[in-house]
Amino acid sequence: MKKTSDLKLPTAKKISEGTGNGGEFHQFSGRTHPELTTQQGQPISDDENSLKLSNTSRPGPVLLEDFVLREKINHFDHERIPERIVHARGAAAHGYFELTDSLEKVSKARVLSKVGEKVPVFVRFSTVAGNAGSSDLARDVRGFAVKLYTQEGNWDLVGNNIPVFFIQDAIKFPDLIHAAKQEPDRGFPQAQTAHDTFWDFVSLTPESTHMLMWIMSDRAIPRSFKNMEGFGVHTFRLINAAGDTTFVKFHWRPKFGLQSVIWDEALKISGGDPDYHRRDLWNSINDGKLPEWELAVQLFDEDFVNKFEFDVLDATKLIPEEQIPLRVIGRMVLDRNPTNYFSETEQVAFMTQNVVPGIDFTNDPLLQGRNFSYLDTQLSRLGSSNFAQLPINTPKCPMMNFQRDGHMQFQTPPGRVSYSPSSLEPNTARENPDTGFTSAKEHIEGDKLRVRPELFADHFSQARQFFFSQTETEQNHIVSAFIFELSKVETKDVRVRMLGQLANVDMGIAKRVADGLGMPGKIEKVATTVPARTDLPESPALSILKKAKTSLEGKVIGCLIADGTDAATVVGLGKAAKKAGADLKIIAPKIGGAVAKDGSVIDADFQLAGGPSVLFDCIFLALSADGASTLSTEAAAVAFVHDAFSHLKVIGATSEAQPLLDKAGVVTDKGVVIGKNGLAAERFLNQAAIGRIWEREPSVRTVY
């Protein structure tokens, strides 16, 4: 692509001669381009100037007859479609799902029974509350929506990275979302729950308490999409060839392990790179570090349903893995970025009602409501009942029915017959009772009532179980998150009520939050019919840190250099990082790079101000004495090191970098590795594989 300044813009004389400038562009670039046309296919002679009643010295009025101009502007004016009401901010990728263990005994779905068959998928990750242009690092649940293009039709598993939800009945969803999104009178704050309307609503909706524990935990600030678990949330049913049914919950488990960032880091990443997750997904796939998950299931029957402490149809509850273990049945790999963001990521239409024969719904009232909502929302978002004809939504198996016409009909069905039954044509499509989708047979009787089952009334037991299943560090983070969020709530009564709800989970948690808010005094529990059970055992699987992996795979190391840096150290570090599956990024005071001690130039990936340490998992300071002394008076360099230390990252440094470490307030601990050039680099990498130095935390911020 040529810079505008390189192009010779045509003169008025040339226009009057009717040459246009297309020819000039061709000549200039020395390449042959395809011919630019209108949407109707007419070749365009001039894409720089509208048609005017003109002479060579003064422009005259633009003529209405300029269909080239009008078509171009008209299309531009209509480029945007309504963004999703929820999950507007998202990024997606293509890949495949491969079954490794057949569920044939419990499901007749081909995708769950044919081992080895690769099924194409399109997966979209998202935040919930923020608008399309908001930051990736908002504290929020992440959408984890998977479209599997199976040979028996599309199966959409539209899940989240948290296994429970805020509400039990779909009728409360609009209220929840209105409370969470920007407040309607002022239009802010967006992409965050830290405001009055959200906490007002949830403090009056005790069923949300379990989910609040999850979104105040580090699960709500993931390090990247590839470091998240995914959950189908609801209980679904599987149906086998004999018509027997089994209950199932779906889990995606990341190959790269679960990882999150620190809240202060999340705030700063939002400024440093609001596209942090989106960029990571894109780069990981481009660099061949393919995001991958195992698909695991929890299978159970009516007996379990009857003896389980909670209702399996209540989406605010989960079934601990310790109670029903996970069975791994397949893997999903994302290996191709979208070609066009709008056509694919924006136009993809996920729908919970997209299931295939062998998979069925349950009576979870949230799921039932969703099954209506997702089809409905596509009409307002995509504008036509033919949205399944958009390439990203079209099944990759044969498809035939008598649905006809409508806006933007792309198919041209031949023949006279568009109905069934018919006799006029021999080969029209027919239903098939043997292979077609059938619902699970279920005997139901009862009165028509607006009620919730009794077991749905326990709102605090699993919230408590979740909290006490976390490590001490993770518990501290949950308490701090409550303090942060509630400190943004202006209405004191709302804060008081929320403390009263937390007291229903555990008075100790409520007191810690009250202390952090500076709200001493007696905490009155909000009245509840079912108090929290204290006998539920801890579930280690609910903690991120208890199952953390020690590895550098997929991590990014930020290496700070300056003039005088030892080039061999940087090269050695890069090689060792690559071997360990990590990426090395070079940060220098100037984007052109730095002149090394041996006179060579080390190229930079980031200029210091544009490459804060929050963008990297760990940092190495490859500095000479002169470099360190110069950078000690550079605020961005001091912040680079100080932030890495307070975000509990492993820091490696050459001994000459000490002045900068001192200026940044770094106190040596097991995560600070200083030494002679190459040696320091090697020890640093070993240490960096363990991740963050959690023991450092109490020395860098208050733990309430």
- Residues with a known catalytic role: 87, 160
First vs last C-alpha separation in the chain:
56
d(CA 384, CA 33): 35
Closer by beta carbon to ligand HDE, 318 or else 577: 318
Chain residues binding ligand HDE by CB under 6 A are 84-87, 90, 124, 126, 143, 145, 158-160, 165, 170, 173, 233, 315, 350, 366, 369-370, 373-374, 377
What is the closest distance, in whole angstroms, from the C-beta atom of residue 351 to ligand HDE in the complex?
Answer: 7
What angle in degrees, to the nearest 10, is found between the helix axes of 472-487 and 263-272?
Answer: 60
Min dist. Cβ of residue 233 to ligand HDE (A): 4
Closer CB to ligand HDE, residue 176 or residue 238? 176
Cβ neighbors of 494 (< 8 A, separation 6 or more) are: 196, 199, 200, 203
Q: For Cα atoms 222, 224, 227, give the angle at the middle one, nearest 5 degrees.
A: 80
- Which residue's CB is nearer to ligand HDE, number 120 or number 369? 369
Spatial CA neighbour of 122 closest among 396, 397, 395, 392: 392
Nearer CB in complex with ligand HDE: 175/405: 175
Residue 562 CB, shortest distance to ligand HDE, in Å, is 43
Alpha-carbon gap, residue 612 to 268, rounded angstroms = 9
Q: Judged by CB, which is closer to ligand HDE: 318, or 481? A: 318
Cβ(497)–Cβ(485) below 8 Å: no
Q: Which two tokens stand for residue 498?
A: 């929320």
The smaller minimum CB distance to ligand HDE, of residues 86 and 329, is found at: 86
State how far the alpha carbon of 406 is from the alpha carbons of 379, 411, 485, in Å. Answer: 12, 11, 47
421 cis-preceded (ω within 30 degrees of 0): yes
Task: Work out the burial of residue 395: count CB atoms within 10 Å of its CB; fewer than 13 is exposed, 13-18 middle, 19 or more buried.
Answer: middle
C-beta of 37: minimal distance to ligand HDE in Å?
A: 33
* Tokens standing for residue 343: 């056509």
Residue 10 vs 90, nearer CB to ligand HDE: 90
Least distance (Å) from ligand HDE to the CB of residue 381? 7
Nearest C-alpha neighbor of 92 from the set 36, 142, 30: 142
CA 354 – CA 374 distance, rounded (Å): 10
CA 627, 632, 635, 636 dihedral sign is: positive
Length of the chain: 704
Q: Which two tokens stand for residue 513?
A: 């939050």
Six-digit token pair at 296? Answer: 């695991």
Q: What is the per-residue burial (b if ≥16 Cβ within 10 Å, else e) of 573-597?
A: bbebbeebebbbbbbbbeeebbbbb
Output the smallest distance, CB 123 to ligand HDE, in A. 9
Minimum distance of ligand HDE from residue 474's CB (angstroms): 22
- The verdict on whether omega for the bond into residue 426 sits within 30 degrees of 0, i.e. cis, is no
The least CB distance from residue 165 to ligand HDE, in Å, is 4
Beta pairing class for 292-300 and 245-254:
antiparallel
Cα 169 to Cα 365: distance, rounded to the nearest angstrom:
5
Which residue, 214 or 620, has its beta carbon nearer to ligand HDE? 214
The residue (of 233 and 324) whose beta carbon lies closer to ligand HDE is 233
At which residue do the structure tokens 């949205």 appear? Answer: 387
Sheet holding 556-560, edge to edge: 606-607, 583-588, 556-560, 618-621, 651-654, 672-675
User: Which residue has the CB atom at the shortest distance from ligand HDE?
Assistant: 143
Shortest approach of ligand HDE to residue 384 CB, angstroms?
15
Smaller CB distance to ligand HDE: residue 123 or 258? 123
CA of residue 24 relative to chain centroid, distance: 45
Amino acid at position 543, single letter: S
**Nearest-approach distance from CB 520 to ligand HDE, in angstroms:** 37
Cα-based distances in Å from 150 to 147, 219, 290, 478, 605: 9, 30, 22, 40, 41
| Helix, strand, coil percent content, the chain, rounded in steps of 5 | 35, 15, 50
Q: How far apart, in whole angstroms, are the C-alpha atoms of residue 614 and residue 604?
A: 17
Query: 2's torsion region: left (phi>0), alpha (psi -120 to 50) or beta?
Result: beta
Count of alpha carbons within 13 Å of 640, Cβ hemisphere only?
A: 33
User: Min. distance of Cβ 156 from ligand HDE in angstroms?
Assistant: 9
- The DSSP letter of residue 397 is S
Best CA proximity match to 541, nearest among 248, 322, 227, 279? 322
When computed from its CA atoms, the radius of gyration of the chain, rounded to whole angstroms, is 29
Min. distance of Cβ 199 from ligand HDE in angstroms?
20
